[in-house]
Amino acid sequence: MLRQIRNTSLKTISTGIVVITSVELTTKLPSEGRSSQLYHNFTDQVVTPLMRRVLNPEDAHNTALYFLQKGLAPTFRQNSLEASSKVDLSIQTKDGLTFPSCIGLAAGFDKDGVAIQNLMDLGFGFVEIGSVTPRPQPGNPKPRMFRLLEDGGIINRFGFNSVGADAVEDNLKAFREKEKEELKDNRGKRKTEGKGDDADGDNAATLLNSSSKILVSVFKSTWSFFFPPISPQPRSLLGVNLGKNKTSTKETEDYEIGIEKLGKYADYLVINISSPNTPGLRNLQQNEPIRRLLKVGIQKRDELPRDSSGKRPPLFVKIAPDLDNSEMEDIAKAVIELGIDGMLVTNTSNQRPSTLISDNSIEAGGLSGSPIRETSTECIRKMYKLTNGNVFIIGIGGVGTGREAFEKLAAGASLVQIYSRMTYEGPGVVSRIRKELSEILLQNGHREVIDAVGLDHPDIYWDKKMSRAKKSLENEKVFTDF
């Protein structure tokens, strides 16, 4: 008897999962249930490991991108701390650009900007596309991406494979136009929200008896429990990472073209001079070349049209983790003196730690993921100190948990990007990192991300905290006087 009940229950549950998953995959109605824990578990614990087992790394990457384009990936699963505003993961630049969450996607996943909104829906506060080169180029020969399973890392030598700036511009233009349409639709919905509700309720009351109402209510409650509706999220930001064609012989021209052509679509721009897979590119990190490039980059950025708030996109530069102390000092001085808005620290590494055990560790290319986490965090720590905390830093390298994100913030990063660890953890890692980071912030007595930035530097940290407190008091006084 018990066995029969158990078998019947298992069949019912299995059938239910198949039916629900089929409905969600084919229609995404009526609940947008891709934010549910069930859907997250399915993609992270079944789909992701399966793809890793049967597909080579680049094919798995392209398949994941295809799933995203088709709207089959999970969406952000909101945590209670953020939902109740007990913790705020947003942060602002000096010029007032607000990132709705400090957790973003690094460049390299969506090189051509084909799945921007779907990536944002995963829970990223900002998505960076690219690197984009002015002219199309195929990149290096395949295979060019390798998993280091035992080490939790990846080596790639893609070599800036890109469809080119013209094709990417078409993608970005389509994204922005769709974004405007959705914004207009949402405004229209808010205007009509609530109108006629009472009348509809009266009509419904005449058609439904009390028992029917109860059944509908139970069904809705049950459905919402398994597939919670997605709460509206603030608009995520778009970053555009600019690269250089392999055959280009001019120092700054490719970046000028990228800024001019794509800058008007970006919330921020990144000059990438640190990829290890384009010959000679990292030479641009030397003192004189980087100054010439950044100076021209600022001039080109300043020629862009202003947005509706009267601002232009901030300009950042992305550096390597393999710089020596003198090179880091030169870059820090150049960034401060030329007025660059921020730095991305760091790109992939040419170095191979002695702790690596994977057979693929001998492959040429840039190493990313867990093996470079501590190295990148130390680079952030050094750059924060060299700039006295006055340059906005985006930290990258080996982040896959809320604790690892917190370490990057404490070292001096204001934002954190992920990519490689998503290969191992699945797309649901974004929601998990945000949840874990929210919990860690609160456990350490912080309600805002800014209160964790630079904790490893007590002298700088407390000066900045006092400065923010003083500014807040001044603003309150102005408001009171008014």
- Given a cut of 50, whether residue 253 has pLDDT beyond it is yes
Question: If you average pLDDT over residues 176-198, what whole number do you get?
Answer: 72
- Given a cut of 90, whether residue 254 has pLDDT beyond it is yes
**Confidence bin at 183 (pLDDT 50/70/90):** confident
Residue 128 β-bridge partners: 239
- Given a cut of 70, whether residue 2 has pLDDT beyond it is no
**Confidence bin at 475 (pLDDT 50/70/90):** confident
Nearest Cα residue to 168 out of 136, 127, 138, 122: 136
Task: Give one word for 131, left, alpha or beta, with left for phi > 0 and alpha for psi -120 to 50.
Answer: beta
pLDDT tens-digit series, residues 360-389: 999 999 999 999 999 999 999 999 999 999
Provide the 10 A C-beta neighbour count for residue 247: 8
- Given a cut of 70, whether residue 223 has pLDDT beyond it is no
Query: Is 420 among the catalytic positions?
Result: no
The single residue listed with the structure tokens 């007595």 is: 445
Residue 417 β-bridge partners: 104, 396
How many whole angstroms separate alpha carbon 206 and alpha carbon 472? 56
- List, in order, residues 6 or more apart from 219 with CB less than 8 Å away: none
**Strands 342-345, 392-396: parallel, antiparallel or unpaired by DSSP?**
parallel
Token pair for 128:
């960076």
Question: If you average pLDDT over residues 30-49, what whole number do you get?
Answer: 83
User: What is the pLDDT at residue 307?
Assistant: 92
User: What is the pLDDT at residue 199?
Assistant: 46
Question: If you average pLDDT over residues 92-97, what whole number do you get?
Answer: 94
Question: Residue 155 in contact with residue 366, Cβ under 8 Å?
Answer: yes
**Confidence bin at 30 (pLDDT 50/70/90):** very low
Residue 132 β-bridge partners: 242
User: What is the pLDDT at residue 10?
Assistant: 44
User: What is the pLDDT at residue 9?
Assistant: 45
- H or E segment at 441? helix 429-443
User: What is the pLDDT at residue 74?
Assistant: 92
User: What is the pLDDT at residue 31?
Assistant: 44
Nearest Cα residue to 250 out of 302, 318, 296, 315: 296
Out of 101, 275, 361, 438, the active site residue is 275
Q: How far apart are the first and last CA of the chain?
A: 77
The Cα-based distances of 88 to 33, 327, 459 in angstroms read 25, 35, 24
How many whole angstroms separate alpha carbon 54 and alpha carbon 46? 12
Q: Is 292 exposed, middle or buried (0-12, 13-18, 19+ CB in 10 A)?
A: middle
Pairwise pLDDT comparison (14 vs 210), residue with the higher score: 210
Instruction: Report which residue type is found at 11.
Output: K
**Confidence bin at 18 (pLDDT 50/70/90):** low
pLDDT tens-digit series, residues 129-158: 999 999 999 999 999 999 999 999 999 999
User: What is the pLDDT at residue 184?
Assistant: 79
How many whole angstroms separate alpha carbon 38 and alpha carbon 74? 10
**Confidence bin at 117 (pLDDT 50/70/90):** very high
